[in-house]
Amino acid sequence: MSAITDERRPDDASAPDDATPPGGGQGRDALRQMGSPHRARNIKDTVARIVMWFCFFLAIVPLVWILWTVISKGAHLLGSMEWWTGNQRNINSDDAGGGARHAIEGTLQMVAVTAMIAVPIGIFTAVYLVEYGRGKLAKAISFTVDILSGVPSIVAALFIYAVWVTTFGLSRSGFAASLALVLLMIPVVVRSTEEMLKLVPNELREAAYALGVPKWVTVVKVVLRTAFSGIITGVLLGIARVMGETAPLLILAPYTKNFQRDLFAGNFPTLPMMINQDRGDFALATAAERMWAAALTLIILVLLLNIIGRVIAYFGSVKK
């Protein structure tokens, strides 16, 4: 036994420190091949990250450029109290000064009336399509919403003009422009609300039905509350969509430099029309400055509405 053991010890001692993997050379090649896909995935991941960041900065450049241009050229007038309290009455294009309160009030009033009409219609339509809509009627409604989504703003304005002015013989006014904006806002609210309602888990609906809760109560108390923050986001998108529209205002609501709080009284002041008014005299420094200041004011209003909407959505949503 000892002789046999002594004969085997030299062989064991001469064995290399790095043992050959099972399979010999073929096993080593297999391990190398297993590492190749891992390196390929790392390379693809790095390339994808580079492309993503490049596209991000490419999209940010025009946004930053626009904001910087508007702020640098229009922020001067916003620091004056006259801008927030006065109007443009008796202010010529080459005159300095004047305010934008009349246009700010008119824009907010018109958007408020538009939202009061479009938001309930859009939410009820989305609830019907998701919770109740079946058959040909639901398909027809969905097809109509798709058509409205692609309608240019000037076409919506011409349609309201044909009905409001030509057919019924009513005068152009701020309310007529609001009706055109309603046609533009409804599809945005419908589609965004519809997507949010589809994200609500069916288990929540089934749990309510199992407790004997009627369907309409389930929709109001469970589905809509769960999707509340998303619905608010859709409403804000719709408001931002119509707040800066100019074509319906050009056709249906001519601009006035005076205060006007009656949507049915003809000419109506709005920020987009104020921008368009001063754009015609862009060569004059005073008119150009008012144009940039009005554009910055419009951006600030949209930003404030989004912040208010986010706060409402945060405190009104269902807490986990």
Per-residue pLDDT band for 230 (boundaries 50, 70, 90) equals confident
Mean pLDDT of 183-188: 93
pLDDT at 50 over 90: yes
Per-residue pLDDT band for 4 (boundaries 50, 70, 90) equals very low
* pLDDT at site 193: 92
Per-residue pLDDT band for 186 (boundaries 50, 70, 90) equals very high
Helices 101-127 and 228-243, packing angle to 10 deg: 140
Q: Please report, as a single letter, which amino acid is at residue 137.
A: L
Q: Which residues contact 36 (CB under 8 A, 6 or more apart)?
A: none
Q: Is the dihedral of CA 69, 60, 193, 316 positive or negative?
A: negative
* pLDDT at site 39: 77
pLDDT at 320 over 70: no
Mean pLDDT of 39-67: 90
What are the pLDDT digits (tens) for 279-313? Answer: 877 778 888 889 999 999 999 998 888 888 888 77
Residue 96: phi and psi, rounded to 5, are -90, 160
pLDDT at 182 over 90: yes
Please tell me the least confidently modeled range out of 11-15, 21-25, 72-76, 294-298: 11-15
Instruction: Give the dihedral of Cα atoms 271, 92, 288, 103; nearest 10 deg.
Output: -10
pLDDT at 15 over 50: no
Give the pair of three-digit tokens for residue 18.
Answer: 């790095």
What are the pLDDT digits (tens) for 101-112? Answer: 999 999 999 999
The answer to whether residues 205 and 218 touch, using CB atoms and an 8 Å cutoff, is yes
Cα 244-247-249 angle, rounded to 5 deg:
80
Give the pair of three-digit tokens for residue 74.
Answer: 């229009």
The 3-state DSSP class for residue 257 equals coil
pLDDT at 145 over 50: yes
Mean pLDDT of 52-72: 91
* pLDDT at site 160: 94
Indicate the DSSP class of residue 256: -
**213 C-beta neighbours (distance < 10 Å), count:** 15
Per-residue pLDDT band for 128 (boundaries 50, 70, 90) equals very high
Indicate the DSSP class of residue 70: H
* pLDDT at site 120: 94
Compute the half-sphere exposure of residue 177: CA atoms within 13 Å on the CB side of its CA.
34
pLDDT at 216 over 60: yes
Kindly state the percentage of the chain with pLDDT values over 90: 35
pLDDT at 46 over 60: yes
Per-residue pLDDT band for 17 (boundaries 50, 70, 90) equals very low
* pTM for the predicted model, two decimal places: 0.79
Q: Please report, as a single letter, which amino acid is at residue 27.
A: G
Mean pLDDT of 53-58: 93
Q: Residues for the chain: how many in total?
A: 320
> For the range 211-218, what are the long-range contacts, defined as Cβ-Cβ under 8 Å and sequence gap of 24 or more?
215/131
End-to-end CA distance of the chain: 75
The rounded distance, in Å, linking the Cα atoms of 250 and 243 is 14
Compute the mean pLDDT over every residue in the chain, rounded to the nearest whole number. Answer: 84
Helices 153-160 and 174-198, packing angle to 10 deg: 130
* pLDDT at site 5: 47
pLDDT at 181 over 70: yes
The 3-state DSSP class for residue 191 equals helix
256: left (phi over 0), alpha (psi -120 to 50) or beta: beta
Per-residue pLDDT band for 248 (boundaries 50, 70, 90) equals very high
* pLDDT at site 25: 57
